[in-house]
Homo-oligomer: A and B are copies of this chain.
Amino acid sequence: MAITIRDVAQAAGVSTATVSRALRGLPNVDDQTRQRVCRVAADLDYVISPSASRLASGRTGSVAVITPYIARWFFSTVLSGAESVLASAGIDLLLMSVSNPFGQMRLPPAPRLRRRVDGALVIAIPADDQELHEILDLGMPTSMIGVSVKGVPSVTIDDVQASRTATQHLVNLGHQRIGLIGGAPVSPPFTAGHDRRRGFMDVLAETGLSFDPSLESYGYFTIDGGERAMTDLLNQPVRPTAVFSMSDEMAFGAIRAMRNHGLQPGRDISIVGIDGHEVAELLDLSTVAQPVQDLGRIAAEALLEQLDGHADRQHQVVQRLATQLIVRGSTAPLT
């Protein structure tokens, strides 16, 4: 049906081997020959069959991006960064989401990867997740974002530091009774939730501030969760004068909760987040911004290096990108 390499070979008066070499830009092909082959191929509107090429070469020319969420801001932004790099490199990007909320029956990711892709880009799957380790055990080139696992290249921010920055900002403003909106009661090591809690606690300890456990609440990194968490905090006998939210989106929810209680961010209670979400500016939310798109871009580049054999997985390092405190109206000096 479709044009094959044989048709091109015949029309150009060469062998299929030569066509293959010419079209792929391999060396050891006469310039004249290459020109002719390319022209004939274009004339015939020939496109290579990826399936055949993959079968014969053993390479798929594609990588999987594995993510727990697609529509959330952080994840879609990382994804777009990764896509731009992979597309430029001519690599197909297979999108795979894992453990979706409705628990639909779908195959675990690891089996789906085998023989299907050359590598995997994993976005923010907790370091102790079983599916993650099944993926890593595949031994294929892998690059991770937002988590680190020993021996696997990854790109993250310094979560402890980001959290310290946010907390210190509140302390500097004179706050002493500071609430914390975290992800979940228990966060595995090497995840954002874990490290950000630690940065928070460290600053409190160093500053000699005590931490009231009733001032810790959990928003599960969603807007609604943040609202509930803040509502909890507001229902405490003695309210905090400032709150550190581990993500901007939870802070958005927290702001809504404050409004529902007739409170105004910055005036009545200070609040700071982490992310640098576009909407944070609209809500006048102070935040520690992270370069989310770069996270995806750089992780994709690290993956490409592994695919090209320029680097060994074992020799890769954890890359930490810088964050930046952005002060807005939601944080103000304690009056």
Contact = CB atoms under 8 A, between A and B. Distances in A.
A115 to B, nearest CB: 5
Given A71-B76, A80-B70, A282-B279, A51 B115 contact: yes
A33 interface: no
Given A104-B84, A278-B223, A283-B282, A94 B94 contact: yes
B116 A50 contact: yes
Interface string A86-105: 01101011111100101011
A264 interface: no
Contact of A60 (B51, B79, B104): B51
Interface string A273-303: 0000011011100000000010000000000
A169 to B, nearest CB: 22
Interface residues of A, number: 51
How many copies the complex holds: the figure is 2
Contact of A106 (B2, B55, B77, B88): B88
A111 interface: yes
A83 B293 CA distance: 21
Contact of A115 (B47, B79, B281): B47
A49 interface: yes
A51 B47 contact: no
Nearest to A76: B76
B71 A111 contact: no
A71 B77 contact: yes
A101 to B, nearest CB: 10
A83 B95 CA distance: 8
A107 B91 CA distance: 12
Nearest to A81: B71
A87 B96 contact: yes
Interface string A29-72: 00000000000000000011111101100001010010001110
A197 interface: no
A147 interface: no
A313 interface: no
A51 B116 CA distance: 8
A73 B80 CA distance: 12
A223 B278 CA distance: 9
A39 to B, nearest CB: 16
A49 B73 CA distance: 35
A94 B70 CA distance: 14
A255 interface: yes
Contacts of A47: 111, 114-115
A220 interface: no
A95 B93 contact: yes
A256 interface: yes
Nearest to A284: B259
Contacts of A221: none
A54 B62 CA distance: 15
14 contacts: A2-B115, A49-B115, A51-B54, A52-B55, A70-B80, A70-B83, A71-B73, A71-B77, A71-B79, A80-B97, A87-B96, A87-B104, A87-B106, A279-B282
The 6 closest A-B pairs by CB, nearest first: A76-B76, A51-B54, A70-B80, A71-B80, A51-B55, A47-B114
